[in-house]
Amino acid sequence: MTTPEAARVLVVGATGELGRLATRELFDRGAHLALAGRNERRLAEMAARSGCPTRVLDAYDLDACAGAGPWALSELGGLDGVLVTVGVAGFGPAVAVPNAAAEHLMTVNALCPMAVLRGAVPVVRDGGFLSAISGAIVIAPLTGTADYAASKAALACWLGVLAREVRRRRIAVVDARLRHLDTGFASRAVVGSPPPLQRGADPAPEVHELVDELMGYLDDLAPERTSTTPGQVGTAPARRR
């Protein structure tokens, strides 16, 4: 698949495991990037290596999250796509998860990416893409993951509705339902311990294929381009990965 020359992309969550992989993939394909994330030190290192504009972003500052798209537009001189890789895990029976932990899961996993993409809708170009990672947990949630699954399901539902709302502008809304990956994500849970899980898959090929899909949408001028990855919740067939 040919990558459009100098695609201008905002990556939010760029300092996390998946965000760093996606950033490397996009940079290697010649994309011009604006990077936002929580870890200031990692952002500084990434900026020093790549020359990309960076911005520290707190998931709880939803107004700042909504401003990430306009900031990227200003920095890059245009915006072709947005990828949000922000996320946090949390486990435990529904009756045992503290309300503060439940609020944290919903804020980081749903409200933050929703705010980023909401703010990006007016500034991303027609025919561009908006994407966030929900995960396979949306399809088959396990016992002991009620609050975590609910936060990801809220994001997935929101993306599905957004896809219909931006269809006339030919914007691809991609709900990336990546399978369980070996990133140490579950071991960094904000609450509880994960249920028994099989060893996660290598994240590099998954991220490579996701970026392949996103870049492909910039070449695709079909009027309906909504995708879930994998699975389908939207108005157009997913590109299978």
- What percentage of the chain has pLDDT greater than the value 90? 69
Q: Taking residues 26-41, report their average pLDDT.
A: 95
| pLDDT value for 219 | 72
Q: Taking residues 172-199, report their average pLDDT.
A: 76
Instruction: Take residue 100 and report the two structure tokens written for it.
Output: 């503060």
Contacts of 222 by beta carbon, 8 Å cutoff, 6+ apart: 170, 236
Q: Taking residues 54-65, report their average pLDDT.
A: 97
Evaluate if residue 179 carries a pLDDT over 90: no
Average pLDDT, whole number, for the chain? 86
| pLDDT value for 187 | 66
> pLDDT digit string (tens) for 80-120?
999 999 999 899 999 999 999 999 999 999 999 999 999 99
> pLDDT digit string (tens) for 123-132?
999 999 999 9
Which is more confidently placed, 215 or 179? Answer: 215
Q: Residue 30 — very low, low, confident or very high, per pLDDT cuts 50/70/90?
A: very high
For the chain, the three-class secondary structure string (H helix, E strand, C coil) is CCCCCCCEEEEECCCCHHHHHHHHHHHHCCCEEEEEECCHHHHHHHHHHHCCCEEECCCCCHHHHHCHHHHHHHHHCCCCEEEECCCCCCCCCCCCCCHHHHHHHHHHHHHHHHHHHHHHCCCCCCCCEEEEECCHHHCCCCCCCHHHHHHHHHHHHHHHHHHHHCHHHCCEEEEECCCCECCCCHHHCCCCCCCCCCCCECHHHHHHHHHHHHHHHCCCCCCCCCEEECCCCCCCCCCCC
| pLDDT value for 20 | 93
